[in-house]
Structure 1
Amino acid sequence: MTSQMFALVVDTIQEARARKVIAALLLNGTLSIAALFWILRTYPLSGPTSMVTLMSHTTIDI
């Protein structure tokens, strides 16, 4: 009975560690993508892609 309880506690701790690692990886990936979009949004574009930026900031009044 004691060895089964010990195994259950050890398994629970290992599962909690694994979930933290998975959560950390997902959070890291999400923050990395958000940082990349933020950098690209603030990066001054030049050349043919600058027209895309200019056209995305225009407003159409109907």
Structure 2
Amino acid sequence: MRIYKALWVYDPKSLKWQVLLNQLRSPYGLTINNNDELFLSEWTGTNDSVIKVTVK
């Protein structure tokens, strides 16, 4: 399990929140694989929609 900070944006067409994979940041320089599952693990409460993402 890896935790990233990622930028989430609201998609008004699908009415869902989408993670911007190219905005994923990790202090360990890890990357996200296409088959990784992303889970919203923590909302930071910041205006720029940066949240923690748990990757399994």
- Shorter-chain TM-score bucket reads under 0.3
Bigger fraction of residues in helix: 1
TM-score (norm 1): 0.20
- Determine which structure has greater relative contact order: mean sequence separation of CA pairs < 8 Å that are 6+ residues apart, divided by chain length: 2
